[in-house]
Amino acid sequence: MPASNSIIHAPEAMWASLLRERSLTAAKQYDHPAILNWFRNHSFFYSDRIDPVQAWEKVRPLGKSEVAEVPVSTDDSIREARTSGTSGFQVSIRNNLRERRFRRALLYRPQLFYDLPAEVHQVVFVDGNWCAEAGMAPKLFTYGGVLYRTWFAGVAAETGQIHSLLRSLRPQLIRGISSGIVRFIDQAGDSLRDLGVRYLAPGGEFLQPEWRQTMHDAFGATVLDRYGSTESGALAWQCPLCRRYHANVDEIVLEADADGLLVTPLFVSSQPLLRYRLGDIVSFDSVAADCKIRLPTITIQHARRDDWVIAHDGQRVSPLSFQFEQIPHLDAWRLHQNSDGSICLYFESAQPDVVAKQLGRHLADALPNQLFELHEGIWRFDRGGKFKRVSSDLA
């Protein structure tokens, strides 16, 4: 394990209390030489990458295209998650069962400081078009002395289904994909304040100020953002006390590099990432927050935010509607909407003819009656600024 003091080494039943305790104490300094030594001993991949006398800041950052080269431990509980972030370049991230459970514990860390009852109903907005019904058995999870009963709503699900679920459950907490929550609010068309929601904890995308206001106005609830990635897990969370973003620096080495954030998760040994470049632009706040939570705070300046697409009938279509990752042999993709409304989908594949047919079918289903073109090669679309996966001149 890159850092022997990671809480993941403790019994799972203690994770919540230890994460809370650490939140209230000043963060310790990293033992960079010890971490580098662990990586050197992990595999030839890292021993070849790190010179024996090399300083931490001299180690070449790990790029997305290199993740596939990182050796993965042999463990029957290893599971794979695929992510393309804003680039459309797919990466497989592998964690064992214990690491996946710890990622969840880290994700729930901010809720240790929420004002919540001993039993919480929560609805989580996720990818997809399926929505749970109130009569279905929830997913149960106990954390920090609180029992969470969780139901899931797909961001592309029918608005009436989601509304019915919320009315039946009256959840205290709503989490999930920011744009999906906003899409539901836009289409619901009425006030949701009588549902009794206490907190909205969006994540997955950069939370625009107007989105935050939309959520607050609709539910009359406190909006507390989350910041993380598939590669690293939860990175930072908006504090219910001081409203700043506290960074999980006790479990992830964060470097606010000028060329984009670098992360080193200290709790991962299955597929360890050393100085992995996420690319988001963040900065550590120079003045400490007046807050009992002692984790340092950051300001997120530029992070993931794909555009919405305008459909043929004028409706806004979430970027999460384009679930191309499930298509075999598709290596990368980018979708752009021109100012005339037409769509260009750029893709990379070793079997372009086969993949193009499947992409065309998926696109036609997501955007009926919309004009589109398919182009092999994602670099044929050259657009300045942050590299988005879905972009639109009409956004």
CATH number for the domain harbouring residue 375: 3.30.300
Question: Any idea what the Cα angle at residue 81 is, between residues 85 and 247, rounded to 5°?
Answer: 60
- 59-114: per-residue pLDDT in tens? 999 998 899 999 999 889 999 887 655 454 567 899 999 999 999 999 999 999 99
Structural domain ending residue among the three candidates 260, 280, 302: 302
Structural domain ending residue among the three candidates 203, 223, 243: 223
Residues 132 and 94 in one domain: no
Residues 101 and 236 in one domain: yes
Terminal-residue alpha carbon distance, the chain: 44
Which of the four pLDDT bands, split at 50, 70 and 90, describes residue 384?
very low
Hey, which bits of 221-329 come out as E strands? 222-223, 226-229, 233-238, 245-247, 252-255, 262-265, 276-277, 281-284, 297-302, 309-310, 316-317
In sequence order, which residues have a C-beta less than 8 Å from that of residue 235 and are 6 or more positions away? 227, 228, 229, 247, 248, 252, 254, 263
The whole-number pLDDT of residue 386 equals 39
Counting DSSP H helices and E strands in the chain, the numbers are 8, 22
**Domain-embedded: residue 1:** no
In sequence order, which residues have a C-beta less than 8 Å from that of residue 189 and are 6 or more positions away? none
Whole domain around residue 186: which residue ranges?
Answer: 115-223
Strands 252-255, 262-265: pairing kind: antiparallel
User: For the ranges 47-51, 310-314, 389-393, which has the lowest average pLDDT?
Assistant: 389-393
Residues 202 and 130 in one domain: yes
Which of the four pLDDT bands, split at 50, 70 and 90, describes residue 152?
very high
What is the percent of the chain with per-residue pLDDT over 90, rounded to a whole number?
64
**Domain-embedded: residue 2:** no
Residues 121 and 215 in one domain: yes
Which of the four pLDDT bands, split at 50, 70 and 90, describes residue 157?
confident
- The answer on pLDDT for 276 being more than 90 is yes
Query: How far apart are alpha carbons 223 and 201 in whole angstroms?
Result: 6
**Domain-embedded: residue 128:** yes
- The answer on pLDDT for 387 being more than 70 is no
List Cα–Cα distances, 293 to 15, 17, 104, 112, 282, in angstroms. 17, 14, 20, 11, 20
Q: Phi first, then psi: what are they for 320, rounded to 5°?
A: -75, -5
The whole-number pLDDT of residue 65 equals 84
CA proximity to 378, closest of 355, 349, 354: 349
- 136-146: per-residue pLDDT in tens? 999 999 999 99
Which of the four pLDDT bands, split at 50, 70 and 90, describes residue 330?
confident
- The answer on pLDDT for 12 being more than 70 is yes
What does the buried/exposed string (b/e) look like for 3-34 if buried means 16 or more CB atoms within 10 Å of the residue's CB?
bebbbbeeeeeebbeebeebbeeeeeebeeee
The whole-number pLDDT of residue 304 equals 61
- 302-326: per-residue pLDDT in tens? 766 677 888 888 888 877 778 787 7
Residues 209 and 283 in one domain: no
Counted domains in the chain: 3
